[in-house]
Amino acid sequence: MSDAFFTEYFYYKSLGFTAKIKKLLHSEESPWQKIDVYETERIGKLLTLNGKTMVSELDEFVYHEVLAHVSYAVARQHRRVLIIGGGDGGVVREFVKHPDIEQIDLVEIDERVVEVSKIYFPECTVGLSDPRVRVLCEDGIKFIEEKIDPGSYDIVIIDSTDPEEMAEGLFTDRFYKAINRALSPEGIMLAQTENPFLDEFGLKKIYDNLRAAFPSVESFTAPIIIYPGAYWSFAFASKKFRGTDLNPHKQAQMQKLQQTLRWYNMDWHRGAFALSNFHRKQIGQE
């Protein structure tokens, strides 16, 4: 495959991300989606779902550290964490670095994503063997709406694919309101919310749905090289706190931990919430 390339087309199929492929390591059709793993020339192994980039060895640490440590650094309660999606295990890996977390539930609809990731991305799935972790292979929407009591979690992470097909329901006001009910009184939710420049899925609508469910909603950014346009936004939603309200009782712990991390530190955390006028307008924050 010396001259083979993988390309993901996006923004109404008018743009694309292309990586030169050394070898196709794995390909299958699960009951839910097509799962492929490539060995690439420059970005290491690459996981794609239905032809869309999900995880690469080059930059996975950015995405996973951001989702886990931004939420943890602000939260006042940390006992129970829920991750919806994220079958590659990277967000779990980051959360298990915090010893005061008692339970981490990973709800991934496609168990084959978990199993394939264990084989090809063991550096991501290493945290799944932690005794505090439960892996539940089921529908995250039904889990939130039907199976848990109000106030069950202190932190909820939505590690989803794009807001289309089976993931579309993870971006509705109904779902966000169900997340609010699932959170403790000081609970926090984080989610990926696409590229504000290549606004193919209606970014303002996503944030309107969040504002319908939470009193405090903000956006922040981080570069994810393999995602469309590389400039990626995330939503921070809370019943009480803003994204820069770092827990003063955790700063010494975070100061120590950040020395071992590749992306996250508290200075970056504070700065990531400073948005351009363009970004504010895109999410309806004017």
Residues with catalytic function: 159
Question: Which stretches of 75-121 are DSSP H helices?
Answer: 90-95, 111-120
CB atoms within 10 A of CB 43: 18
Kindly report the CA angle at 95 between 90 and 101, in degrees rounded to 5? 155
Find where tokens 């008018």 sit.
14
Alpha-carbon gap, residue 62 to 263, rounded angstroms:
6
Using CB atoms within 10 Å of the CB of residue 226, give its burial: 0 to 12 exposed, 13 to 18 middle, 19+ buried.
buried
Rg (CA), the chain: 18
Q: What sign has the CA pseudo-torsion 162, 165, 167, 170?
A: positive
Cβ burial 98-129 (10 Å sphere, 16+ → b, else e): beebeebbbbbbbbbbbebbbebbeebbebbe
